[in-house]
Structure 1
Amino acid sequence: MPTGQLSLSGPVARPAVGTLPIRGDLAHIALADRYLVAHYVAPQPRSVGNEGATLLCQPRPGSEEVATLEPGQAFEALDYAGDWCWGCCGPEGPTGYVPTAHLAPQDGG
């Protein structure tokens, strides 16, 4: 959580796609002291499934690849839409989309 006085001090350059976990509508809660968005999200801890996964820039097959995720690797889920999960490997990235089916089943479900 951010500490200290927060203020709007002018425009801030948006990071490149695939880097920090921030979109126009939401961002990882750890970025609240650096970026202003409509919503901040506390990540949901997940892990990559047994087959591994490719982190993509957009939620569609064939999109530009951001990183290769190893089986069992920790992943922080931030948003789900259809068959896709947008998330990151930590608050400093990398960030992108993976098919939800490529994440390990959640505990208790």
Structure 2
Amino acid sequence: MSDSGTYGLPEGIIGLTGPITKPAPGTLPLRGDLAHVALANRFLAAHYVIPETREIGPGGAQFLLQPNDDSEQGEALEPGAQVEVLDVAGDWIWACAGPEGPSGYFRTAALAA
């Protein structure tokens, strides 16, 4: 069974407040179109996602920096690790270990049944 964690909607005004340093790929769960809801007070994105918590299956998984099998690899995910799913597109999942990362892509088959 999966749940949505304990994240709520941000409070106060959300908007551009000054320059930021763009985080490195594979770190914070932040893309141009989506970001983890916990980052809403720090980073501007078109949409914010309250993640769904899921478990990595018995084969483990490897975060990739892009949804492509030939992409640069990020952090390894051990079997049974909890991840926060932010987006599913076809056979690919964009997820993170938590709002401070790491983040990346892996195939849907890596999730526990």
Q: Taking structure 2 as the reference length, what is the TM-score of the superposition?
A: 0.87
Q: Does 1:63 align with 2:67?
A: no
- 1:7 is displaced (CA, Å) by 4.7
**Equivalent pairs: percent with the same residue?**
57
Aligned counterpart, 2:80: 72
Residue 18 of structure 2 is matched in structure 1 by 10
Give secondary structure in 1 for the equivalent of 2:87. Answer: strand
CA-based RMSD of the aligned residues comes to 1.3
Runs of 4+ in 1 over 2 A off after TM superposition: 1-8
Tell me the secondary structure at the aligned position of residue 101 of structure 1. Answer: helix
> In the alignment, which residue of structure 2 is the partner of 1:31?
39
AA partner of residue 76 (structure 2)? T
**1:60 and 1:4 mapped to 2: Cα distance?**
37
Superposition pairs of residues 30-49 of structure 1, within 5 angstroms: 30-49=38-57
Aligned to 1:12, what secondary structure does the other structure show?
Answer: coil
Work out which of the residue numbers 100, 103, 109 in structure 2 matches 1:101: 109
Gaps of 5+ in 1: none
User: What is the aligned length?
Assistant: 105
Counterpart in 2 of 1:20? 28
Between the aligned partners of 1:11 and 1:63, the Cα distance in structure 2 is: 29
Look up the match of 2:93.
85
Q: How far did 1:4 drift?
A: 4.5
Q: Distance in 2 between matches of 1:75 and 1:6?
A: 26
Aligned to 1:52: 60
Deviation at 1:14, TM superposition (A): 1.5
1:32-53 residue CA offsets vs partner (Å, 9 max, x unmatched): 0000111000001101011001
**2:104 and 2:55 mapped to 1: Cα distance?**
14
5+ long unaligned stretches in structure 2: 1-8
Separation in 1, partners of 2:109, 2:13: 41
On the 8 A contact 2:63/2:76 being kept in 1, the answer is: yes
